[in-house]
A and B are shown apart, each in its own frame.
Chain A
């Protein structure tokens, strides 16, 4: 602290010699002149004294017969006049400070986190639509509106958070992972009847009915389209004829043993990129989105891959600058037509089969027996997949139960109260 004040006020290092330097120092202290860093170099002494005190030395030197010479000038009062001579330097310094402050008011990088389903490009395009781009003013970015519109535009995005870190806009999103596994259930109409219908052929292994009338039992063979559970409980007349149905939504846990069939194909011939090992590199600089490449060669290859290795400049952690640099690599390759060997084809098929099994397991399907066979013709390899599986069956479909001319299943109203009872049955609105 004392050093800083001394620097701001300015001081000089003086060289003192002559008849009695000790007396000189005593007089200085008696006159309240502060001396520091006094050192003895044999015949002369050096010490520091503030500028203000230096001007008062004259009388003392005359009295003591010592001589004083300035050795060095230190501090701000000596530094400022030097700067005045170097105007361009000061201007540059101030200019750069203003430049940094001005630049920090813009966004120079947009970072997306947490998106798997929605691609980066898609999100970037959407963000650009909101007038938020690399180079837009930080103060004009409405984070709340961005978050809101992201959520409303994409149903799959359930949570968003945007924040500005320095000159970087970070958008974090969370996607709904369940949407894909949730089947779209038909909207059920109140009072209407719905059946559970088999989607595949098979044998019923177990059935537990919660509502509706089960039409199958354990062990019964069913065909695709068969009604498993009927969505209407019959009401009988006294003479055991059906008077009416009480409609309901059939609900049951039915497991049927069925067959999963599928074929996988793989072309025998395929093109493979064989890199010749030849490659060229060229550096480039990207300023404000415009790329300036320094190409030292002409494009020599017929077929090639281009890879970019790009780095964005930044100050500290979050101050991103609109300047990137990197190298562009061009690698030559030749397309070679190859043939899959039996082993290779087998490996690829095994991988695919494992994937199929995994998806089946995820759906809660139990696999009893696996049966796969591999075939080959002149163009393709084939894999026939035959699995014996036990899976949950039953698809909700509007019931077709009607007693002709008696009631509309959708409304469930008895015909006797319907004034149009004699007319031919109206078309079922649900089956439309």
Chain B
């Protein structure tokens, strides 16, 4: 599907996200991303971003839930 975001979660500690427009909110408990079709909300504890580029990003920390808004 064209423009859809790809979220790859490894266990509950790592998540790779591709195809997004940008970040709306980042605290250590919530990361809210603007995708091309919808928003993605990742909630957890001690969330940190290992790297952040235009195409993809890697989130690590303890992930509790991945929500599509």
A209 within 8 A of B: no
Render B12-52 as a binary contact track against A, CB cut-off 8 A, 1 for contact: 00000000001111111000000000000000000111111
Check A22 against B51 for contact (C-beta < 8 Å). Answer: no
A28 within 8 A of B: yes
The verdict on A30 contacting B52 (CB below 8 Å), with A22-B26, A25-B26, A40-B28 known, is: no
> Chain B residue with minimal CB distance to A38?
B49
Check A35 against B26 for contact (C-beta < 8 Å). Answer: no
| Chain A interface, number of residues (Cβ within 8 angstroms) | 19
Q: In the docked arrangement, what's the CA distance between A37 and B22, Å? A: 17
Q: In the docked arrangement, what's the CA distance between A22 and B20, Å? A: 14
Check B50 against A26 for contact (C-beta < 8 Å). Answer: no
Render A33-71 as a binary contact track against B, CB cut-off 8 A, 1 for contact: 011111111100101000000000000000000000000
The verdict on A38 contacting B54 (CB below 8 Å), with A25-B23, A26-B22, A45-B26 known, is: no
Q: In the docked arrangement, what's the CA distance between A376 and B48, Å? A: 99
B24, B25, B54 pick with most chain A CB within 10 angstroms: B54
CB contacts (< 8 Å) of A32 on chain B: these are 53-54
19 residue pairs of the A-B complex, CB under 8 angstroms, read A22-B23, A22-B25, A22-B26, A29-B22, A29-B52, A29-B54, A32-B53, A32-B54, A34-B51, A35-B51, A36-B49, A36-B50, A37-B49, A37-B51, A38-B26, A38-B52, A42-B28, A45-B26, A47-B52
16 A-B pairs besides A22-B23, A38-B48 with CB distance below 8 A are A21-B26, A22-B24, A25-B23, A25-B26, A26-B22, A28-B52, A29-B22, A29-B52, A35-B51, A35-B52, A38-B26, A38-B49, A38-B50, A39-B28, A39-B48, A40-B48
Q: In the docked arrangement, what's the CA distance between A38 and B50, Å? A: 6
Check B53 against A26 for contact (C-beta < 8 Å). Answer: no
Check B52 against A36 for contact (C-beta < 8 Å). Answer: yes
CB contacts (< 8 Å) of A47 on chain B: these are 49, 52
Check B23 against A26 for contact (C-beta < 8 Å). Answer: yes
Q: In the docked arrangement, what's the CA distance between A36 and B49, Å? A: 7
CB contacts (< 8 Å) of B52 on chain A: these are 25, 28-29, 35-36, 38, 47
CB contacts (< 8 Å) of B49 on chain A: these are 35-39, 47
> Chain A residue with minimal CB distance to B24?
A22
CB contacts (< 8 Å) of A26 on chain B: these are 22-23
Q: How far is the CB of B62 from chain A (nearest CB, A)?
A: 14
Kindly list the 9 A-B residue pairs having the minimum CB-CB distance in the complex, ordered from nearest: A38-B49, A26-B22, A36-B51, A40-B28, A39-B48, A29-B54, A35-B52, A22-B23, A29-B53
